[in-house]
Amino acid sequence: MPIPLLALAISAFAIGTTEFVIMGLLPEVARDLAVSIPSAGLLVSGYALGVAVGAPLLAVVTSKMPRKLALQLLMGVFIVGNTLCAVASDYSVLMIARVVTSFAHGSFFGIGAVVAASLVPAEKRASAIALMFTGLTLANVLGVPFGTFVGQEFGWRAAFWIVSAFGVLSLAGVSLLVPNRHDSGPVGLGHEVRVLKDPQVWTALAMTVLGFGGVFVVFTYIAPILEQVSGFSPRGVTLILVLFGVGLTIGNTVGGKLADRALMPSLMGILVALAVVMAIFARTSHSQVAAAITIFVWGIAAFATVPPLQMRVVEKAAAAPNLASTLNIGAFNVGNAGGAWLGGLVINHGHSLDTLPWVAAAVSVVALLLTWFAARMDAPARTVAQSA
């Protein structure tokens, strides 16, 4: 894989760390800014909303820019946002800073995926996208625990100063390593928007919402599941989440390689595995050893969906992929929010926590059916191409 992918992976690591590190520092932030824990928790929601809304807005702003310049601008926004987080004088400023930071998230991953795919031959594009997203998975395994430790020892602001430093390193990497010669140049907003008229693009976005939404039906409530159903201590939950993060990293690589071989068949196979693992977890969640093993396998299956889902959108919007690819990052976040909402709805209706894996499995099955339908939509196009 080309060295420029390393710059994209480092950037993904920095972005992933700032997204999730706040979760481990909520008590410190709440205490320092004199707000409640639920209010501090809204900093997570604000970031997710910023990704979903801000990503397409910045995609519009950068639509006429060369992709390398757009990535540099977005990483500059990221640095400014995290610096504002570190110096925030009160809760409102911190919320605004989090939203500013989130604006860079979706657009960077969207445009970065297009750049990553352009750096390699066609048969390795999904693996290139997977390598960039490895930075995001490693953020969960290394960046978030380290950032949480630093924030707890030296104050939560220190964690954001460190993330800002990673942002500077990322900007330098993009500036020095990502070449202009792979940049196909700006295509303009009008051309980008016209690509969205293709129903296959919207089908691919829906596949992302459902394919990843099922994961968050359970992941949002994984701590209470592990503590109340499996019987783990809070410290044990932390170790299990690290194990889950290792599974994410492996699954990301595996998903990229499978998608390069056969994108849609691989995606359907991964969704089958995801549904099966979730159904199994409904049973194994009652045993600590079995739950730990299942969560590791679940992590592999969960993130194995990411490279093929992102590659599908890039492939279907090949003529102007920047906006569509960025929208797909927003689709992941819509899936996250929708999965969390659905899981909460199930719990609020009086169902037990061990019901959630069954609901997640059902969402994965729906995603599988939609993927099968999309593959059937591809068939006429292949027939026409072969006859021509």
Q: 302-315, pLDDT tens digit by residue?
A: 989 988 998 898 88
Domain identity same for 271 and 139 = no
How far apart, in Å, are the Cα atoms of 241 and each of 177, 234, 277, 356? 33, 11, 17, 18
Phi then psi dihedrals of residue 177, to 5 deg: -105, -35
Q: For residue 324, count CB atoms less than 10 angstroms from its CB and return exposed for 0-12, middle for 13-18, buried for 19 or more.
A: buried
What is the number of domains present in the chain? Answer: 2
Domain identity same for 142 and 32 = yes
Structural domain includes residue 77: yes
Domain identity same for 180 and 254 = no
Q: Model's pTM, two decimal places?
A: 0.76
Structural domain includes residue 55: yes
Domain identity same for 117 and 219 = no
- Residue 54's domain comprises 1-185
Q: 223-239, pLDDT tens digit by residue?
A: 788 888 999 887 787 78
Q: Tell me the chain's radius of gyration from C-alpha atoms.
A: 20
Secondary structure element (H or E) that encloses residue 108, with its range? helix 91-118
Distance of CA 274 to the CA centre of its chain: 17
Q: Report the alpha-carbon distance of residue 351 to residue 55 in Å, rounded.
A: 35
CA nearest neighbour of 220 among 330, 134, 338: 338
Domain identity same for 1 and 145 = yes
Domain identity same for 155 and 271 = no
Domain identity same for 102 and 228 = no
Bigger pLDDT: 66 vs 148: 66
Residue 90: left if φ>0, alpha if ψ -120 to 50, beta else—which one? beta
Q: In angstroms, how far apart are the furthest CA atoms of the chain?
A: 69
182, pLDDT greater than 50: no
Q: Average pLDDT, stretch 147-163?
A: 88
CATH of residue 76's domain is: 1.20.1250.20
Structural domain includes residue 247: yes
Domain identity same for 180 and 191 = no
Domain identity same for 346 and 300 = yes
Domain identity same for 161 and 224 = no
